[in-house]
Amino acid sequence: MRISLISAAVCCALFSAYGANAAPLTVEQRLALLEARLNHAEQEAGEAKRRAQQAELRTSAAEQRAAAAEKQVQTLSQRTDATEQKQQAADKQLAKTRLTDGFEFNAYARSGMLVNSHGKGARGGPGSRRPVRSTVTPTLAVSAMRKITTWSSASAKK
């Protein structure tokens, strides 16, 4: 803040008039004023020291929290790195495999018509209550059954 010429002149006029009207202080009065100033300065110094100690305590607590946060960040980054490595390994393994690897499809197919005892179409399949005979009787299956029965009866005789 700059002191203007007018404010400087006003200050000089006021203080010089005060000093002219004031009675000179004795040595004891001066010592009392000096002692009061000294006590006031000591109080301010003590308060400043107390504030400095509190600031140091807060600083050390903040440093401890920062160190704990750094450890936590390191732990989390290590866990993240490990998870990323596992994910990359799984992605590589998945890229090597094909969708058809290890998949096998087996089925049994049979064709024919379902006919009832009157020779007409009948209902069939799971859940039907009436017995239905099929027109399809594979001759190979019948001959295979005959061979099995004859072979088993022949081996039973021996």
* pLDDT on residue 106: 74
C-alpha R_g of the chain: 55
What whole-number distance in Å separates Cα of residue 108 and Cα of residue 106? 7
* pLDDT on residue 59: 97
Indicate the average pLDDT of the chain.
76
Question: pTM here?
Answer: 0.38
β-pair type (133-134, 114-115): antiparallel
* pLDDT on residue 131: 54
Q: What is the pLDDT of residues 106-117, one digit of tens each?
A: 776 666 666 777
Q: How many CB atoms lie within 10 A of CB 114?
A: 15
* pLDDT on residue 53: 97
Which residues of the chain are under the pLDDT cut of 50?
Answer: 136-147, 149-156
Residues 6+ apart with CB under 8 A from 34: none
What whole-number distance in Å separates Cα of residue 5 and Cα of residue 11? 10
* pLDDT on residue 52: 97
* pLDDT on residue 143: 46
Query: What are the extents of the domains in the chain?
Result: 33-81
Q: Are 95 and 88 in contact (CB under 8 A)?
A: no
